[in-house]
Amino acid sequence: MTNTALAFESIRSLADRIGSGRLRPVRLAEELLQRIDALDGRLRSFIRVTPERALAQAHAAEIASKDGANLGVLHGIPYAAKDLFDVKGLPTMAGTRLLANRIALQDSAAVQKLESAGMVLLGKTHTVQFAYGASGINHDHGTPHNPWHAVPHAPGGSSSGSAVAVASGLVPVALGTDTGGSVRVPAALCGIVGLKTTVGRVSRAGVYPLSGTLDSVGPITRSVEDAAMVYQMLQGMDARDKSTTGIASHDVLQGLKDGVKGLRIAFGETVFFDDVDPEIEQAVREAGKVFRALGAPPSSVALPEVAAAWAEKHRPLLIPAEGCAVNRELLDNHGAELDPVIGPRMLTGRTLCAPDYIALLERYADLQKQIQWTLRDIDAFIVPTTMSPALPLAAIDASPETYLDYNMRVHRNTGIGNLLNLCAISVPCGFTSGGLPIGLMIYAKPFHEDMALRIAYAYEGATQWHARHPDLAWTRNQAGAAAQFSSS
The answer to whether the beta carbons of residues 437 and 148 sit under 8 Å apart is: yes
DSSP 412-459: HHHHHHHHTT-EEEEEEEEE-TTS-EEEEEEEE-TT-HHHHHHHHHHH
CA atoms within 13 A on the CB side of 202: 32
The answer to whether the beta carbons of residues 231 and 253 sit under 8 Å apart is: no
From the number of C-beta atoms within 10 Å of its C-beta (0-12, 13-18, 19+), residue 18 rates as: buried
Which residue in 45, 65, 82, 124 is the catalytic one? 82
Q: What is the pLDDT of residue 477?
A: 56
Q: What is the pLDDT of residue 387?
A: 98
Of 410, 82, 148, the C-alpha closest to 277 is: 410
Q: What is the pLDDT of residue 481?
A: 33
Which residue in 135, 182, 211, 223 is the catalytic one? 182
Mark the ranges of the chain whose per-residue pLDDT is less than 70: 1-3, 477-488
The answer to whether the beta carbons of residues 392 and 399 sit under 8 Å apart is: no
Answer left, alpha or beta for residue 479, where phi above 0 means left and psi between -120 and 50 means alpha.
beta
**pTM: predicted TM-score of the whole model, two decimal places:** 0.96
Secondary structure in 3-state letters for 48-60: EECHHHHHHHHHH
Give pLDDT tens digits for 297-347. Answer: 999 999 999 999 999 999 999 999 999 999 999 999 999 999 999 999 999
Q: What is the pLDDT of residue 487?
A: 28
Q: What is the pLDDT of residue 224?
A: 98
Q: Is 158 a catalytic residue?
A: yes
Find the helix packing angle between 449-461 and 224-234, rounded to 10°: 160
State the CB neighbour count (10 A cutoff) for residue 20. 8
Q: Is 433 a catalytic residue?
A: no
Domain of 122: which CATH number? Answer: 3.90.1300.10
State the CB neighbour count (10 A cutoff) for residue 307. 13
Q: What residues contact 355, with CB distance under 8 A and at least 6 apart?
A: none
Between the alpha carbon of residue 74 and those of residues 159, 195, 205, 320, 334, the distances in Å are: 22, 18, 22, 36, 41
- Does residue 104 sit in helix, strand or coil? coil
User: Partners of 218 in the beta sheet?
Assistant: 176
List the beta strands (DSSP E) in 308-406: 380-384
Between the alpha carbon of residue 138 and those of residues 184, 243, 341, 342, 392, the distances in Å are: 18, 30, 9, 9, 14
Q: Is 82 a catalytic residue?
A: yes
CA atoms of 428 and 448, how far apart (whole Å) = 21
CA atoms of 265 and 378, how far apart (whole Å) = 6
Which residue in 65, 158, 211, 388 is the catalytic one? 158
Of 142, 134, 125, 129, the C-alpha closest to 94 is: 129
Q: What is the pLDDT of residue 21?
A: 92
Q: What is the pLDDT of residue 232?
A: 98
The answer to whether the beta carbons of residues 265 and 380 sit under 8 Å apart is: yes
The DSSP 8-state label assigned to residue 148 in this structure reads T
**Residue range of the domain that includes 330:** 3-486
Identity of residue 121: L
The answer to whether the beta carbons of residues 198 and 422 sit under 8 Å apart is: yes
Number of structural domains in the chain: 1
- Name the maximum alpha-carbon separation found in the chain: 62
User: Partners of 423 in the beta sheet?
Assistant: 444
Q: What is the pLDDT of residue 209?
A: 98
Of 188, 194, 220, 222, the C-alpha closest to 389 is: 188
Between the alpha carbon of residue 48 and those of residues 33, 60, 76, the distances in Å are: 12, 22, 20
From the number of C-beta atoms within 10 Å of its C-beta (0-12, 13-18, 19+), residue 223 rates as: buried
